[in-house]
Structure 1
Amino acid sequence: MPAPDYQSLIDAPTWAFIRATEAAYAAQSPGPDIADQRRAYDAMCRAFHAGRPPGLHVTDEAVAGVPCRRYAGAGPAVLYFHGGGFVVGGLHSHDDVCAELAAATGLGVLAVDYRLCPEHPHPAAYDDCLAVARATPGPILLAGDSAGGALAAAVAAALRGPRLLGQVLIYPGLGGSGDSYRRHAQAPMLTAEDVAYYARLRGAGPQDATAAPLAGHDFTGLPPTLVLGAECDPLADDAPAYAARITAAGGRAAAFVEPGLVHGHLRARHSVPRARASFARVTSTLAAFAAGHWPFGDT
């Protein structure tokens, strides 16, 4: 199988984002120590932090004993689970993302600071996210990127039911085995080796559907779903695979594999036109799901 031609697949603005991310990491000289990795990741996220839209009311609180950050808004709450391989990230790393989700949709957003590996192996993060979802009253939506997308899908499988209005998963790792894991094993921003490393730290079995939602056997009753993959990402095939399972079970799901984009492109939403369009798809879909609309025609 020929290696992907990333020079032609990835456009100039995205390459600039990749190089800026690499430079932000290099400036921190992260070593193998987990604390160093977290410090470097947080510093990189600060370098891309776009600030909060003016006038947004934000408070920190505990929900079901889990630290959370609430971004005020109307309507059903969007529970947001951050990415970071279940190892890095937190309330600060995705603060601007959550703030912009709230501002763009008008919905309240609740970011969940779940416990991280390896100190807290699976199912700690899943347990935290599920506890917050169960403790949040009224109708809710679920959203998350990367590891957070996997958590959202696992929580959706546990909850099901009418109060779950929808879920939006952004380049999630759902435990698939599609060809993208080989085709894009050496992709910029995330490699197949990185995926395996984080899985080892998490300590979950490959057939545990609470960790790998594609290992599940029952996809009935799941909410309307948008799942976004990035073309240049080992996880790309998980998006259409998950959507296909839901539609085969009689549900509604749409999958888009964003052309030329890479893992982590949420941070590029202000500098890369393709990433900006993908983020607009996220916000418009959350708003539609909150209003009870399916925005993808007969998909």
Structure 2
Amino acid sequence: MDLGQANDKQNHSTVKEFVLLGYQEYPALLFTFFLATYTAILLGNGLIVVVTTLDPALHTPMYFFLRSLSGLEMCYTSVTLPKMMASLISGDHSISLPACASQMFFLLFLGATECFLLAAMAYDRYLAICQPLHYMRIMSHRVRIGMVAGSFAVSLPMQLFQVGIIFSLPFCGSNEINHFFCDIPPLLSLACADIHSNELAVYVENIAFVIIPFLLILSSYVQITKTILRMPSATGRQKTFSTCSSHLTVVILFYGSAMIVYLRPKTPESVKVNKLLSLLYTIIIPLCNPLIYTLRNQEVKTAFRRILGRKRP
């Protein structure tokens, strides 16, 4: 082996662990904020799961999907927040290579599953509003379970492949990830190889797991809007639209932030923007989901009072 090859091998030594920089200022304040947020996410989404499970009046397709989404959100935030809080309280921001790969996989897997689950919820609203006479026949219990299980099954192999090709890259030089967790864009910037094929794979996968479900949601709401506008009563239009407004709000927040992070071109400011947006779709949206879906939902509030014994069925 000549000197040039030896130097090249040395310069491309394998990175054993990464350091998640995130925001290291004011650790006590950030820890308190993340702890309160994580507790609220688990309590809020857990309450939706319990209420929609225990109350027979909420055993409908819409609340079945809402229960699935709430359970998914609790898992999604559990991938990042406990590690972030542990780093803040201990001061150790390192993460091993296998742990980083696992964290990235579960983030991508659960995030892609949520994209398909939101599309399934949009289809459910389309059937309920545009095909009400056939709604319960089409959206049977077996179909609902199949749609949720399919959302997980479609996402699993693609995300395993995505994480596999990313962590097959050589990493050298700096091991500092300028992010809160192991995400694709900051990790690819540390690779010591040509990453154009990886970036192309990211774009292709985002088209499959972000754009296609978003187009399905958009087409559902186009038909829903046409149906609502044909209703003769303004009260009926408002009441019908209110059943979709919560889901539409979550779709706009989730897809908007995800598209900006993963599909927009790189700029010098993109690192800071992506860090802020990552807080939106990994923490703020799961925190707001229980409020968005229950604040104006009289059925859920009534069911909660029945479970607490304040009101008899």
Specify the TM-score bucket, using the shorter chain as the normaliser.
under 0.3
TM-score, normalised by the number of residues in structure 1: 0.27
Higher helix fraction: Structure 1 or Structure 2? Answer: 2
TM-score, normalised by the number of residues in structure 2: 0.26
Higher strand fraction: Structure 1 or Structure 2? Answer: 1
RCO greater where, 1 or 2, for CA within 8 Å and sep 6 or more? 2
